[in-house]
Every structure is written in structure tokens, then in C-alpha cells.
Amino acid sequence: MFEVIFLGTSASAPSIQRGLPAQVIKHDEYRFLVDCGEGTQRQILQAGLGFKRLNRILITHGHLDHILGLAGLISTLMRWETMEGLEIYAGKRALERIHDLVYGVVLRNTRPPMPIDLIEVNEGPFFEADDFRISAFPVFHRGTDSFGYLFEEKGRRPFLPEKAEALNIPPGPWRRKLVEGEAASLPDGRVIDPETVLGEFKPGTRLVLVGDVGDTRSLLDVCRGADAIVMESTYLDEEENMARRFSHMTARHAAELARDAEARQLILTHISRRYRNRDVIKEAQSVFPAAVVARDFDIFQIKKDESPAQE
């Protein structure tokens, strides 16, 4: 399961109700901040998250509304938080801008009290834990080296306890070996093959974060069958020409991608102050009924084979 906590859902400039782009993705003990608009550190505190274990930041692209909050956040982390190190992942050009912000403004030739690693991402996997991985994929957005991020649990074959009971396999290390796909030698001398107690392979939960995007044609494959897609919806169809000019999405176009990809849910963010929520939802749901609009501090739990739950 992945949990998405929206910290900022506004497009380009903050509004009274919405901060600038930022969201936290949680999976077990791991936490990732995706984008860091101005004011993100206050949103983190207001959401009740705190800064503990928030040591990995993924940036979709280098536009200022997605990175300016790094200055204040890093300044706070250096002064008030105990952290072994900070990792910031982004494309090459975005990292160049982040480097200028961090080392030219925040640090100004001073040594940080903790390592700050600026890590360039390219297409493909770049972070792997025991049960999930994160991959980057290129996104087209107005002269940037933009990337989206795929959070994907590793698939597994579920252990079938009823079959283990029928075979009188005792609890303990024998069942654990079978769960891990290894044969188990039981105390009574029998050797049990894992095939006898494991079910059919089940793919893991897939969460796709697209960020700002002007053309979705290259995104269909990575979004196909996703349990949830998080992406921008800066414009409505009535201003499609404006969307094309600035390389952004309309709610309808985002919904068309989710529909064509046969995704299970679409969560829209990066909402312009010119629109009402209900108008954005109406346009998106006319194409893809499982579309919602995120608000600041909304929390979504993304699970396999279940409707994504909103708190």
C-alpha cells in the first residue's frame, strides 16, 4: 500500500485554500517528498507529518513553483533536525537550478552539517527496497527535462494457509521458507515444494505521479493498469488553447489518459485559481468517472484490488 498526502495543490501561485505543489508518498517506514513549492515546510508541519525520515526528495522539473520551498526546508533541516543526510533526485537541468538555489543562496560557501546529495535521474528504476521500487519516466513539459515517478510494489505469490494446514506444515521457519519460494524440509522428513502452498502471481500496487505535462501520448504504457494516477489539471477544456500554449493539461485530457490506460483512479492536482472544484470534477468525470480533485491535506491510500481510500 502507498499513502499519498497532498501538501500543496495549486497551479503556479498559491491561493487562500491551496499551497504550491508538494506531496508526500509513504510506504511502511519510507517517506518521499515529491516536489517542494514555496511554503512546503509549513504544510508539512500543519499536516502533522514532521520532518523525521523525510530525507528523500523527488523533483519532477525545475520550474520555480516546484522547487523554491527547498531553500527554506533545507535551512530548517540543517538548524533544527538531526538527519544523517538528504538526497534530492531530479533531471540534470533541474539539478543545476537546485544546485544554484542550495549552494548559492542557502549555504553560500558554508559547509552543511549533513551530506546533501543531488542525484541525477534518468529513465528507469533508481530506488529499490525489499518490496517496492521507484522508476523515473520522461515527461514533456515546456523546455524542461521533466520526469514522472512510478511507485511500484513488487509482485508476489500469496501463501495459502489452508493448503499448509491440509499438509500439516507446522508454523515457524518451514512456512517462512515456503513463503520465500524455497523448499522446506519438515521435522518428519518430508520435503515440501513451494508450488504446493503458493497461489497465482499477483502484481503489486502501482502509483503513477506525472506532474506538469503538455502531451500524454508517451505516458500511456507507464500508466496502463495503474491503481492511481496523480497528475495536473491546470485548465478546463474551454481554455484548451492556453493549455497547449503553456504545455499543461485540461481536466478532460487528463481523464482521457486515465480512461485509455484503464487506470482505477485519477487524482487531479495543480489546480488553477480561476476554476471551481466542482467544474474541474464535472469535466473529468464526464470522461472518467473515477476522477477526483485533491485538496491540501487530503490523504489517499492506494491499495491493490481495492478502491483507493480517501481520508
* DSSP class per residue in 89-120: EE-HHHHHHHHHHIIIIIITTPPPSS-EEEEE
CA of 211: how far to CAs of 103, 149, 283, in Å? 26, 9, 19
Q: What is the Cα–Cα distance from 55 to 184, expressed in whole angstroms? A: 40
Q: What is the Cα–Cα distance from 23 to 105, expressed in whole angstroms? A: 24
CA of 298: how far to CAs of 18, 48, 198, in Å? 11, 12, 37
Identify the pLDDT of residue 112.
86
Beta strands 206-211 and 191-192: pairing type?
unpaired
- Is 63 marked as binding a ligand? yes
Instruction: Report the Cα–Cα distance between both ends of the chain, in Å, rounded.
Output: 15
Identify the pLDDT of residue 16.
93
Q: Does CATH number 1.10.3720.10 belong to domain 2-156+202-310?
A: no
Place of cell 495543480: 270
- ∠ CA 177-182-168, nearest 5°, is 60
- Is 99 marked as binding a ligand? no
- Is 130 marked as binding a ligand? no
Q: What is the Cα–Cα distance from 192 to 219, expressed in whole angstroms? A: 44
Report which DSSP code applies to 55: -
Name residue 31's beta-bridge partners: 26
Task: Enumerate the domain spans of the chain.
Answer: 2-156+202-310, 161-189
Q: For residue 74, give the amino acid letter.
A: I
Identify the pLDDT of residue 308.
62
Identify the pLDDT of residue 292.
98
C-alpha cell at 156: 508476489
Residues carrying an active site annotation: 65
- Is 253 marked as binding a ligand? no
Judge whether 275 and 282 are in contact, CB under 8 Å.
no
Identify the pLDDT of residue 306.
57
**137 phi/psi in degrees, rounded to 5:** -140, 145
Weakly modelled stretches of the chain, pLDDT under 50? none
DSSP alpha helix (H) spans, 131-223: 161-166, 173-179, 220-223
